[in-house]
Amino acid sequence: MECRRIDDEDISDDELGPDFDYEWDKDFLEKFEWIKEIEAGKRDQKQLFNNSGQMPQEKLNLLKEFCRLFENELDTLEKAPSKTVEKIEKQLYLYFISLENNKIFLHADFEKDGDVIMNECKEQYEFAQINIPRRIVYTMVINDLYDINKYVKLFMNMFGIDDTRGGCYTDVKLGDYLRKSIEHEKIYQDKFSTLYG
């Protein structure tokens, strides 16, 4: 079978065979009927309010019913025993790991033995394979995942970008765009510290 481009001017639609035989005004455009359905849905949404800017009574009653059901669901959740929540929730920790060559790695994980954490870190990250983990110098509870990168960048600013890794910054060599972003944030932090520190 010969491969041809669809925009090849030497080929007519007839030569492509019955699988490619379309009545462009009908068959082809029918494939996009779902777009009309979406647009109709958008028009229906716009009709949520009448010309006076008020919600029609039928839709208002439906909204009130939904709110009532949702309120009941919230009441049920509040009355549920807290033990089920405790079983599901696990505490996340940030481990500050001292590496060889005066490097540091910040690794987020659940509570585990220190040796396990250092071995997993070494297995997962090339930076920790080049600079072997020596010991965990500090551990803190993490309540917000954004805190991980916050502390990584804080340590990068204190000890150097090339000497610190963790969070989203685990590559041995950081891309220029990441380095510039970290340096830009450091300039802002230094300026803010000077003004209000």
User: Tell me, what DSSP letter sits at residue 162?
Assistant: G
CA-to-CA separations, 57 to 48, 61, 63, 71, 107, in angstroms, rounded: 11, 6, 10, 21, 56
Helix (H) or strand (E) holding 94: strand 92-99
Residue ranges of domains in the chain:
92-196
pLDDT category of residue 139 using cuts at 50, 70 and 90: very high
Strands of 164-166's sheet in order across: 133-142, 92-99, 103-110, 164-166
In angstroms, rounded to a whole number, what is the distance separating the alpha carbons of residues 102 and 159? 9
Q: How much is the mean pLDDT over the chain?
A: 76
Q: Give mean pLDDT, residues 16-29.
A: 54
Rounded to two decimals, the pTM is: 0.55
**How do residues 106-125 score in pLDDT, each as one tens digit?**
999 999 999 999 999 999 99
Residue 17 pLDDT: 57
pLDDT category of residue 164 using cuts at 50, 70 and 90: very high
Provide the 10 A C-beta neighbour count for residue 185.
13
